[in-house]
Amino acid sequence: MPPFWIVIRQLVEIEEQMATSKKVITREEWEKRLNDVKIRKEDMNKLVMNFLVTEGYVEAAEKFRMESGTEPDIDLATITDRMAVKKAVQCGNVEDAIEKVNDLNPEILDTNPQLFFHLQQQRLIELIRNGKVEEALEFAQEELAPRGEENQSFLEELERTVALLAFEDVSNCPVGELMDISQRLKTASEVNAAILTSQSHEKDPKLPSLLKMLIWAQNQLDEKATYPRINDLSNATLEDPTV
Amino acid sequence: MPSATVNNHRPSELLSRLASSEPEVKLRALREVKNQIIGNRTKKLSFLKLGAVPAVAGILADSADDVIDCNNNNCNVNNNINNILVQSAAALGSFACGFDAGVQAVLDAGAFPNLLRLLSNSNEKVVDAGARALRMIYQSKLAPKYDFLQQKNMEFLISLLNSENENVSGLGASIITNSCETSLEQKALFDAGILRRLNSLLECGSLSQKDASLESLASIFKNNSEVVSKFAGPEIERPLGSIIDLLKDRYPRTRLLACMCLIVIRSTSPNLLQDIGIKSKLIHILIELLDDPGQVGDEAPFAFSSLIAQKEDLQKLALEANAIDKLHHHLQKGSLHPRRYEGILLALADMCSKLESCRSKFLSLQVLNLVTDALTVDSADVRTAACICLKSVTRSIKNLSAGYFINEMVVVPLVQLFLDPSTSVQVAALGAISNVVVDFTTHKCIFVQCGGMKQLVQLATSMESAVRSNALWALKNFVFLADNRLKESVFSELTASLLSSLICDPEPSVQEQALALVRNLVDGCINSVEFMFAEDGLILGAIGRQLQSTVKAEIGIQGMYALCNVASGNEFHKEAVMHQLFPQMVDKNQSFMINFLQSNDSQLRTATVWTIVNLTCRSSPGAFGRLVKLRNAGIVSQIKNMVNDPCVDVKVIKFMFWSFFFIFFFTFLINLISIFVEQLRVRTVLGQSMAFGDN
């Protein structure tokens, strides 16, 4: 029945057209729509404060508090303490960092065996870095070996760390990454996260996840429309839509 | 060379500095003790052994007194004292953190009341340290029990919970979690309005406050449906909403505690939280929490077990959510923390406890190999859990009959665990073997060859009643439907005297299993009945005595079935049973048979009826005499009352009546015939005499 086939073909063509032709939104249209979105100033300020607090920029947070009147959701003094701990680990003063954490809240290391082990491991690494072989061995035996007995995965990590002692050139050995500065940063961020958690605070600032959501939403939208996209996140410039 | 500073850190040296009269030296020593023991169990123990706890507690006591003495005097002095208070409280708190020996030492040193005094200190840091230390103590079972029923205690608790300081309010919650046990205490806490406060902490408290109130809510709800229904009552807009919301919390520990709290509510009030949505949500969250590398992941499988235990619907849902695959996956990873290892095995045990579909999944994934590996690990708890898991999986009749479990891989390590130093492992291993030895006629020799049978007999004489009872259980299953040769070897190993003494064991569970073993031993061919008559019928006498005196239905059931099997033998055997049922010196009391027939336990009634059936079986010549005895004891009329008993099979009763009828009828017939024969003889004699007379 020819008329029937004609109808079907027409329908299919319309469908195809709809699928291929994306909606185009011009810059003016887009900006007009953006202008209609209202975001409260206080919310923006809170977002900034959250970033400063979580990342530990205490002076900036203090200034921002005075200028914008935004109250941080945490005692700013604790940020100073937290940053001092973080910095101590980053500089390799692990023992100092442990004492500071314990002053801040003795529960953190008492209830977090993994973090405690990693700090002790970092201490061992620093002893090896400073060439204190005998002290390192004694420390590994007295402080770390009992932790290895309690936990198999600790034992494996301990073995890897002690292996450092077997090499002449530690930075070029199979376990050399332990000596790297990134290991310190890893441990430091672990302590930082644990302190934040103990203060009922998120481990990560909200701003990065907001940006992630922006990118995700743009990717979703790309399938349906052409619009002024933000590619340069740091300047948030709108690109002209490519038709 | 070890440096001098390391020596300076030695515990003994530190301890002597604690005793210094210089406040500065003392403070530094305190701080160092604290820093050495935090997170370090071995250090805690070595300081404990050196007597550090009484030393620190002494410093705390002295300084707490000093605070009062020099109140408002000298700010500097007080500052120093406060530092000492903070450090000593923190050290004591760390001794008590997750370490029962430490808690005991802190309590023994009399530090508890002094820590309480710190809560009313004007310095926030001192209050904080004191509350934290007390919270650590209240996380242990050794903490002094808090009496909620005293008015002033309840007021103090409310003041703690209302505190702005999160350690103080957390302490309040920990006290509830620790000490709230009875329904009276739960009710008192509810009446005092504590739940409202805990609920508000759930909704807007800090992380630790949320966690603490979830735990204490669970302890107030536990097994108290009245409190739960009031808390989730109609006057609340969204019942349990605050707890359900926390299932989505970003902290794994909070999610776990919310799950645990809801599981308690579910098991307390079976009408709450029954929709499929919440069930599968709980399952999914708990499975996901297994991935947590820390303590939460260790505890998650235990919570999962408590959710699905005994609940087929949840086990089915969990199977659909691939729970067995996930648990298997974690087990495969190896090098597990013992607590997590144990939890995963127990979760698998609960998954496989009821549904054959779960067991097939378990076997198809070859999880069995990993579980048998766990039988030989260091931790006793893990070995126990592995046995419990095996026990659960070996309930699969299909695979048992296929002989899937009776191989060296399973049997040999299990038998080795019979001699495990830990009683709980022994008991669990016996439990598992009890299932494994059931119903496999061809492979039983493996068990005998590896010495399993002899060991079971030895364990039947263990000092631990649980071991005795489980060993008998395993033997019972071992001789179930076994051939006579095997039974003979078991019996000669056991001996009549041991068996009869086990029947009279002080522990009822042992008595029950011993009687059940006799029941299975005697079951089957007539030769096995002869076991009962070894050593002048020692065993039979023991059964009779036990039946006379017992008040427990379980023991009655097994004893009656044992006698029932004996009564299936020949005339001599039946009479011997009668002798036990109706001893010569009958006192005025009615026969225990009547009590059994009137028992609430349908199994006991059935067992007794079957024994009577075997005794009065119409093919045996002595049946009539026994029937008369039974009638005289009032048992026949008791059975007549049981025609409408819904639990005892009507066919059995009808069959028995036919037996009775036949016996009476034939006896009547025989009497008739004998009268007729007598008359005939008389007539013949008369006829003869007449004939003689005629002659």
What's the distance, Cα to Cα, between the start and end of chain B in Å?
142
A156 → chain B, closest CA residue: B335
- Residues whose CB is less than 8 angstroms from the CB of residue B426 and which lie 6 or more positions away in sequence, other chains included: B417, B418, B419, B420, B459, B462, B464, B467, B470
**B94 contacts in A (CB within 8 Å)?**
106, 110
| HEC per residue, B341-363 | HHHHHHHHHHHCCCCHHHHHHHH
Is residue B393 packed enough to be buried (19+ CB in 10 Å), middle (13-18) or exposed (0-12)?
buried
Tens digits of residue pLDDT in B347-388: 999 999 999 999 999 999 999 999 999 999 999 999 999 999
pLDDT in tens, B82-123: 999 999 999 999 999 989 999 999 999 999 999 999 999 989
pLDDT at B223: 93
Percent with pLDDT over 90 in chain B: 59
- Quote the minimal CA–CA distance from A4 to chain B in Å: 47
CB-CB under 8 Å, A202 with B250: yes
The contacts of residue A224 (CB under 8 Å, 6+ apart) are A22, A23
The CB density around residue A213, as the number of other CB atoms within 10 Å, is 10
CB-nearest partner of A200 from B1, B132, B208: B208
Predicted confidence band of residue A1 (pLDDT cuts 50, 70, 90)? very low
Tell me the one-letter amino acid at B297: G
How is residue B318 written in tokens? 């969990």
The answer to whether ipTM exceeds 0.95 is: no
For chain A, the structural domain boundaries read 74-198, 207-243
Given this model, what pLDDT does residue B105 score? 96
User: Nearest CB to B6: which of A98, A110, A138?
Assistant: A138
Taking only the tens place, the pLDDT of each residue in B149-194 is 999 999 999 999 999 899 999 999 999 999 999 999 999 999 999 9
What is the distance in angstroms between the Cα of A181 and the nearest Cα belonging to chain B?
A: 25
Residue A153: both structure tokens together: 């995965």
Q: Is B2 on the interface with A (CB under 8 A)?
A: yes
Q: Does the beta carbon of B253 lie under 8 angstroms from any beta carbon of chain A?
A: no
- Which of B250, B294, B335 is the closest to A114 by Cβ? B294
Report the residue from B2, B40, B97 with minimal CB separation from A135: B2
Q: Rounded distance, CA A176 to CA A170, Å?
A: 6
Least confident of B501-515, B586-600, B626-640: B586-600
What pLDDT, in 10s, does the model give residues B236-270? 556 688 899 999 998 999 999 999 999 999 999 88
pLDDT, average across residues A35-48? 91
Chain A contact for B4, CB < 8 A? Answer: no
Residue pLDDT, tens place only, A96-124: 999 999 999 999 999 999 999 999 999 99
CA distance B470 to B581: 29
- Please answer yes or no on whether A152 and B335 come within 8 Å at the CB atom: yes
Rounded to 5°, the CA angle B506-B511-B512 comes to 145
Establish, for the pair of chains A and B, how many residue pairs have beta carbons separated by less than 8 Å: 62
Q: Do A106 and B3 touch (CB under 8 A)?
A: no
The answer to whether B98 faces chain A, any CB pair under 8 Å, is: yes
Of the ranges A64-73, B529-538, B576-585, which one carries the lowest mean pLDDT score? Answer: B576-585
State whether the Cα torsion B29-B35-B40-B44 is positive or negative: positive
Q: Torsion angle, CA of A162/A167/A168/A172, rounded to 10 degrees?
A: -110
Residue of chain B minimizing CA distance to A197: B207
Contacts of B207 in chain A (CB under 8 A): 197, 200
CA–CA min distance A183, chain B (Å): 20
**Cβ-Cβ contacts under 8 Å, B208 against chain A:** 198, 200
Burial class (CB in 10 A: 0-12, 13-18, 19+), B689: exposed
CB distance B406 to B446 below 8 Å: yes
Quick check: B140 and B96 in contact, CB under 8 A?
Answer: yes
Kindly determine whether residue B35 and residue A138, on different chains, have CB atoms separated by under 8 Å: no
* B611 pLDDT more than 80: yes
Asked if B489 contacts B448 with a C-beta cutoff of 8 angstroms, the reply is yes
pLDDT at B646 over 90: no
Measure the CA–CA gap between B330 and B301, rounded to whole angstroms: 11
Q: Cβ neighbours of residue B235 under 8 Å, at least 6 residues apart?
A: none
Contact list in A for residue B40 (CB cut-off 8 A) is 116, 143, 146
Question: Could you say which of A99, A109, A135 has the minimum Cβ distance to residue B39?
Answer: A109
Between chains, do B39 and A113 touch, taking CB under 8 Å as contact? yes
Question: Are the beta carbons of B336 and A152 separated by less than 8 Å?
Answer: yes
Question: Residue B649 pLDDT > 80, yes or no?
Answer: no
Q: Which residues in chain A have their CB less than 8 angstroms from residue B382's CB? A: none
pLDDT tens for residues B298-341?
999 999 999 999 999 999 999 999 999 999 999 998 888 899 99
Which residue, among B350, B357, B43, has the nearest Cα to A110 in the 3D structure? B43
Residues B376-431 pLDDT 10s: 999 999 999 999 999 999 998 888 877 788 788 888 999 999 999 999 999 999 99
Q: Which of A102, A154, A190 to mutate to test the interface with B (most CBs of B within 10 A)?
A: A102
- Where does the pLDDT of residue B490 fall: very low under 50, low under 70, confident under 90, or very high at 90 and above? very high
Residues B211-232 have pLDDT tens digits of: 999 999 999 999 999 998 888 7
* Mean pLDDT in residue range A16-29: 75
- Whether residue B293 and residue A152 make contact (CB cut-off 8 A), yes or no, is no
Residue pair B180/B220 in contact (Cβ under 8 Å)? The answer is: yes
Do residue A110 and residue B94 have CB atoms under 8 angstroms apart? yes
Q: Mind spelling out the 3-state secondary structure of chain A?
A: CHHHHHHHHHHHHHHHHHHHCCEECCHHHHHHHHHHCCCCHHHHHHHHHHHHHHHCCHHHHHHHHHHHCCCCCCCHHHHHHHHHHHHHHHCCCHHHHHHHHHHHCCHHHHCCHHHHHHHHHHHHHHHHHCCCHHHHHHHHHHHHHHHHHHCHHHHHHHHHHHHHHHCCCHHHCCCHHHHCHHHHHHHHHHHHHHHHHHCCCCCCCHHHHHHHHHHHHHHHHHCCEECCCECCCCCCCECCCCC
Predicted confidence at residue B460, as pLDDT, reads: 94
Sign (positive or negative) of CA dihedral B82, B88, B89, B91: positive
| Backbone Cα Rg of chain A | 28
